[in-house]
Structure 1
Amino acid sequence: MTSPAAASENQQNSTPIKYVGPYTVSQDPPLYLTALDLDDVAEMVRVLNLNKDVYNGTASFQFPYKEEHATARIRRALGYHAGQGRNTHWAMRTSLDGPLMGWLHVFFEEPEAHEVHPETGRPLVVAEYGYWVSPEHTGRGHAVRAARYFIEQIVAQESDIDVLRAESYIENQASRKVLERTGMVLEKECSDVYIPKLDQMRQIVTYVWHRDPCTRHIQKQNYMASREIAQSTSKPTYHG
């Protein structure tokens, strides 16, 4: 959760960080998206060591998950926020000041890798998002509610994202159902990618959301290169 000091600093900044929230996803059942903070480290470590569900469903989250893993990941996120002026990581919570019970992030691809809008010639803003939910809270619809809110409210209404993608291991039917229930459509049925933490190839599927229907013909091409970038930046892209 964002500390009072951090919130005060953001308010004093002449260019406040975008997409910080907090966002009320649902009041019944209660669900919120708030900015992450280093105060979330301890709970993040506890949750990610309950079992191997998140490890098995993601490309870069480790097991066992150590305090230094969480601290480094959140510090990188906070550094990006300060440098780019936009929040990209949110904690799912059942109360505004409650503990983290899930995670949602978005990763913006480098502009030089993008195609342009077919009508305006403007470089497209392209991003990927991922999530996980604590094993203590799965099966309650939190992932669908949070992801749908993220796409319909934050991405569609507040951001400048043109194309949003999400990926899942091909056999992860629960994650695929979440993506489909948010309104995303299947872009690529099967891609073979290398997962460094497993030291093996895995098959993934890719889902996509387009702001403008005229960009729907544009598909992501170089999946292998994107995975190498993911490893070098510790980008978590697969879903638990």
Structure 2
Amino acid sequence: MAQETLTTSPRFSRETAQCMGPYKVCADPELYMSAVEFSDLPEMVRLLNINMDVYNGSALFGYPFLESQGREKIQKAHEHIEATGINTHWAMRQSPTGPLIGWAHLHFDHFDSKHPQPVHPVSQKPLVIADIGYWLSPEHTGKGLAARVGRFLVEEIAFKDMNCDIVRAVSYVENWPSRKVAERAGMKLELEKISILIPKLGVMRDVCCYASHKDEATRHLVKENYDY
């Protein structure tokens, strides 16, 4: 009887992973994006506890924001790199190795029999679709930094580096600062309002969705199922 061969999933190295950065987003003011590190944890916790802005504007963050919660988010970001060889979480920085002043992430949409993967209306090629999110320290808001990161994330990372076809961003309907970031990043309003459950609040909230399409032929494809 032949000995059974055990197979394991490949583990990717951070040294060779894609999209690690640092990316230079703009020169004036200087702004960079690079992979989040555990060394970013103290500053992340400090910034997210300055006030409740990120908590109030996000479906995912708690307040007060705990070190254990930050460590878990960074750990998951590192595990995604190891599992896929692609980085999808970045710290915003004012120099290539400077302290974290904000966070940006990208999540690829996953599909199943209930939610089949959309295809291009002409080529019938399966579409790569992602959602982005971002937050910025209240010490750095009002300078247009988040919008610059949003545009760079969509145009340079999602479309060029990750070959996405559609990129979306979801905001609470009343969260105009977040919506303005999406608009200034070049995204267009795709869905004006849908009510979804926000688990951390235990209530339904109205959200809207903005989107950028690499090909205008996919513009009619509107996402309607959202959950957190």
Give TM-score, length-normalised by structure 2: 0.90
Residue of 10, 13, 23 corresponding to 2:14: 10
Distance 2:101 2:62 in 1: 17
1:181-218 deviation digits (Å, cap 9, x = unpaired) = 11111110000011111111110110011111111111
Q: State the 1:92 CA deviation.
A: 0.3
Contact 2:48 2:65 (C-alpha < 8 Å) held by counterparts: yes
Distance 1:167 1:31 in 2: 24
1:88-125 deviation digits (Å, cap 9, x = unpaired) = 00000111121100000001111434211112222111
What letter is aligned with 2:220? H
Instruction: List aligned pairs for 1:42-191, cutoff 5 A.
Output: 42-112=42-112, 113=115, 114-191=117-194
Contact 2:18 2:86 (C-alpha < 8 Å) held by counterparts: yes
SS at match of 1:190: strand
SS at match of 2:39: helix
Question: 1:38 maps to which residue?
Answer: 38
Percent identical residues:
46
Question: 1:213 maps to which residue?
Answer: 216
Contact 2:32 2:92 (C-alpha < 8 Å) held by counterparts: yes
Contact 2:101 2:140 (C-alpha < 8 Å) held by counterparts: yes
Distance 1:37 1:53 in 2: 23
Distance 1:126 1:156 in 2: 10
- Higher RCO (Cα < 8 Å, 6 or more apart): 1
Contact 2:14 2:82 (C-alpha < 8 Å) held by counterparts: no
Are residue 204 (structure 1) and residue 211 (structure 2) matched? no
Equivalenced residues, count? 213
Distance 2:56 2:181 in 1: 17
Does the C-alpha gap of structure 1 residues 10 and 76 become closer, same or farther in structure 2, counting only changes over 3 Å?
closer
1:111-142 deviation digits (Å, cap 9, x = unpaired) = 43421111222211111000000011111111
Distance 2:213 2:80 in 1: 25
Q: Show structure 1 runs of 5+ residues with no match.
A: 1-8, 231-240
Greater helix percent: which structure? 1
Q: State the 1:154 CA deviation.
A: 1.2
Distance 2:106 2:178 in 1: 16
Distance 1:174 1:82 in 2: 34
Question: 1:234 maps to which residue?
Answer: none
